[in-house]
Structure 1
């Protein structure tokens, strides 16, 4: 059997724009409406049979602060759905009235960064999961990357990630049900580099709690999605290209 695929390219100027028709969709502003320190290019393939995402992603980060940036911290939201010991699920047996304790291994979700580089420098071994809020060693929703050299004030650095993720059975604004996928914050995403309460520049990148919401910078998201041609795609941002094979 020959499978037919299509590749769709979306341009997201802001991370949470409502969907609008292509006739009205112009992602380019004469002047940027936000600082956009973090921008993304993502090439992702959905493997429907195995409920997997396979991606290569480039993050462009501009240090707009007066302090050098010596590390990165990023959200890995799908790891909140990895098991019952994550901070998101610990201490409860149901989400929105739906029990989850009966799930099989294939129905849990996770994201794994297999490689991260900065130019020719491999940073993969310089990563670790951190738990800045509750010190839960089982929680893997925040990843820290120690840099080979600081990003100086005013400089921009790019980082290339190779990663894969298992899409969970629908649980909390993410997941699958039969042939339907609802994907929200499905990719590794930088926290926000900003002054904290004491005025010190640091990463605002918290673990994923049931009581919290998402927090990230506005930016440009250039997303290329490869799927089976039977899927009807809906997304925020603007569809700028579509190829059918």
Structure 2
């Protein structure tokens, strides 16, 4: 009977020792069986997070560190960092990724962009014939614009080839509209003078006038000067030399004779 009691005591002590050894091993591996937490975070106190890096290699799970905006120097070459067991290689994120880091290598793997986003990639600037919207995303300009500040036809800064910029309207057209003249040196349509309906070469060189005015020598007037009459196309033409005022170009269309003709008749 005493022998059986001693055997039971030895078995109980053996089980207690095994439990203590198991608890010690699981704590060393990062597990806390006695606490409320599954992981004992103290076991990972010596691990270091790397900013702007992603992991690739034998470990299939991509890892992103908590980022602080600084790059880690690479002992294995530019933009490369190997871990202590050389099972994984750490690569720096693309330069166009901002400080939030990335999911993998290249400008399409950024969490967020440092400058602008074009489709799925981060870029330093938007390409020609596009603009950056308020969200720093590149959007195409209107087809008539070379550079622009918005998507509409009236948002052009400069024009696509074979187009002219209507400066005060911010639109690009293939020819200047009425009321504008073409400045060929700058490929810009500039407004005519206020009294001109159309003009050429410069603002005050009128080729037609507003409805209540008549055209005389490139200028728009309220009425034709002496010795001129108004034509059907609202321009001024010279009277016959014998007329002071007239209704047409013929000698018989004088309204008043010229002083010289009056002198001859007198």
TM-score (structure 2 length as normaliser)? 0.13
Question: Which is strand-richer, 1 or 2?
Answer: 1
Question: Which is helix-richer, 1 or 2?
Answer: 2
The one of the two structures with greater contact order (alpha-carbon pairs below 8 A, sep at least 6) is: 1
Q: Which has the larger radius of gyration?
A: 2
TM-score (structure 1 length as normaliser)? 0.14
